[in-house]
Structure 1
Amino acid sequence: MLAHHTLTGPEDAPVLVLGNALGTTTDLWSDFSLPFRLLRFDHRGHGLSPAIDGPCTIADLAGDVVELLDHLELRQVYYCGVSLGGMVGMWLAAHTDRISRLALVCTTAWVPDKGRLDERIAQLRSSGMESVADTIMSRWFTPLCPPDAVARFRAELLNVDLPTYLACVEAVREMDLRADLVKIDVPTVVIAAAQDHATPTELVRQTADELPDSELYVVGDAAHLAVVEAPRTISVILDDHFGNDLT
């Protein structure tokens, strides 16, 4: 299964892979302008990527990225991931040599509050995606986010294949990458959002503290999808972090 993807930007620039949050597509990065060759992809069952039948793990989702890199003949890349995309990035950096620099946005190495995910899984199974969409939007965005942006991402969420989405939620629930953090020996920038109630700053900080070579930033006026609400601020951080390797 090859993930749907786009590869855009200067052909002679370093490749930066952009990993999406659960329930989003490559549109997550539509407001970003970075001086790299950008590889965007959709997780399985999201956007134009094929759905799956059965369970999956974070390692499986990371395997999709490795398959994509092999297909494009990319030996080593930069990687930036949001939420689920960040979890995939941590696995890749810990278990492969394909990542030379890493950025983690509004993500965590484990989920201590598994009860919240259990409730979401039960509600999804009984009532479908529409029943959780508004709650998810309230976690993704602050009240100041433009309504048209919220509506766009809500519509994308509703188009995600439900069985695959459930499999990905269960993968997040079962994930524990804490022991892998010390294996990540590449420069890493970690970005939290002050108004992120899905992955609170303190949880993000715990992940950053366990990484051997990391720097933590906290973005103020943003919630879980901080790359949508604060793209310019995050672009500057990413440009500085990945640009350090260009000289």
Structure 2
Amino acid sequence: MAYASINSIKLHYRVDGVKPDAPWLVLSNSLGSDVGMWAPQVQAFAEHFRVLRYDTRGHGRSDAPQGPYTIEQLTGDVIGLMDHLGIARANFLGLSMGGLTGVSLGARHADRFERIVLSNTAAKIGTPEIWLPRAAKAREEGLAAMADAVLARWLTPQTVANAPFAHAALRDTLVHTDREGYAANCEAINTADLREEARTIKAPVLVIAGKHDMSTPPMLGADLAASIAGAKFIEFADASHLSNIEVAGQYTRTVLDFLLGS
């Protein structure tokens, strides 16, 4: 396992891909998941890119310092990790919280990114009435107390029935997420309003939504795409929030088509 000391914390990361001259692709996980959420895509992505996955602070094997966190910290961790690995420019794919991080990166660090995929996300996600009670519950009761409610918003009932192993694996990751790390990231999402900054993004952008996504409904994705000049928008009919898992093959092909310019 690889770790990097970034911004006074330890970040866990993985690199896949054997072509030393291939372009870089950074993958950023959703709230309550870790690097494993990208397992359906990694092999295909690594055929074309050097793929950098990392556990967002507070998640997986990365440190979970006392919160609250901020979008500036989440953004700074990505830039710090890229600097640590000597990555001057990269492509970026983030889902949900990772997509919010991608909006910030595209707006504030335009010189570091070639193409950006913003998946199942928005420039402003939710309200204090959602995030502050969730943060409090995570700290007081832990993630097991809220796992079933969260997972019901991540996957369609059809996916739960047809892919029980995926559901179980996601639940296992969620319930073992550090309660302070989860809560502190809820607070980062709560205070992040990037709607004006999104309008300044110049890189080519693809926005992905799931038709049945209750956490970041398709309308929010369409609004995000409309605010970014030249952005493309696609909605997957059979997906909820974790569209990269529910329609994995279609998702992978769509992202590669965009990143490779076809």
Structure-2-length-normalised TM-score: 0.90
Counterpart of 1:102, as a letter, is: I
| Matched-pair contact (CA < 8 Å) for 2:132–2:186 | no
Aligned mates of 1:106, 1:8 — CA distance in 2: 24
Choose from 140, 149, 152 the match for 1:126. Answer: 140
Counterpart of 1:3, as a letter, is: L
Counterpart of 1:89, as a letter, is: G
Aligned mates of 1:93, 1:140 — CA distance in 2: 25
Aligned mates of 1:22, 1:13 — CA distance in 2: 29
Task: Tell me which residue corresponds to 2:150.
Answer: 136
Choose from 55, 61, 64 the match for 2:74. Answer: 61
| Secondary structure in structure 1 of the residue aligned to 2:207 | strand
User: RMSD of aligned C-alpha atoms?
Assistant: 1.3
| Matched-pair contact (CA < 8 Å) for 2:134–2:183 | no
After superposition, the C-alpha distances for 1:22-56 in whole angstroms (9 at most, x for unaligned) are: 11111111011122111111011211111112321
| Matched-pair contact (CA < 8 Å) for 1:2–1:68 | no
Structure-1-length-normalised TM-score: 0.95
Aligned mates of 2:138, 2:15 — CA distance in 1: 33
**Are positions 1:86 and 2:99 aligned together?**
yes
**Are positions 1:27 and 2:40 aligned together?**
no
**Are positions 1:15 and 2:28 aligned together?**
no
**Are positions 1:71 and 2:84 aligned together?**
yes
Q: What is the identity percentage for the equivalent residue pairs of Structure 1 and Structure 2?
A: 36
Tell me: CA distance 1:117–1:55, structure 2 relative to 1, closer, same or farther (3 Å): closer
**Are positions 1:182 and 2:199 aligned together?**
yes
After superposition, the C-alpha distances for 1:100-128 in whole angstroms (9 at most, x for unaligned) are: 11000000100244322233223324322
Counterpart of 1:179, as a letter, is: E
Aligned mates of 2:139, 2:29 — CA distance in 1: 23
Aligned mates of 1:27, 1:79 — CA distance in 2: 17
After superposition, the C-alpha distances for 1:114-170 in whole angstroms (9 at most, x for unaligned) are: 322233223324322111100000001111221111111111011111111101001
Task: Tell me which residue corresponds to 2:123.
Answer: 109
| Matched-pair contact (CA < 8 Å) for 1:2–1:64 | no
Task: Tell me which residue corresponds to 1:204.
Answer: 221
| Matched-pair contact (CA < 8 Å) for 2:82–2:88 | yes
Task: Tell me which residue corresponds to 1:46.
Answer: 59
Give the unaligned 5+ runs of structure 2: 1-8
Aligned mates of 2:158, 2:79 — CA distance in 1: 37
| Secondary structure in structure 2 of the residue aligned to 1:78 | strand
Aligned mates of 1:4, 1:130 — CA distance in 2: 23
| Matched-pair contact (CA < 8 Å) for 1:17–1:40 | yes
Aligned mates of 1:105, 1:210 — CA distance in 2: 15
Task: Tell me which residue corresponds to 1:5.
Answer: 13
| Secondary structure in structure 1 of the residue aligned to 2:30 | coil
Counterpart of 2:25, as a letter, is: L
Aligned mates of 2:78, 2:10 — CA distance in 1: 9
Which 10-residue stretch deviates more, 123-132 or 141-150? 123-132
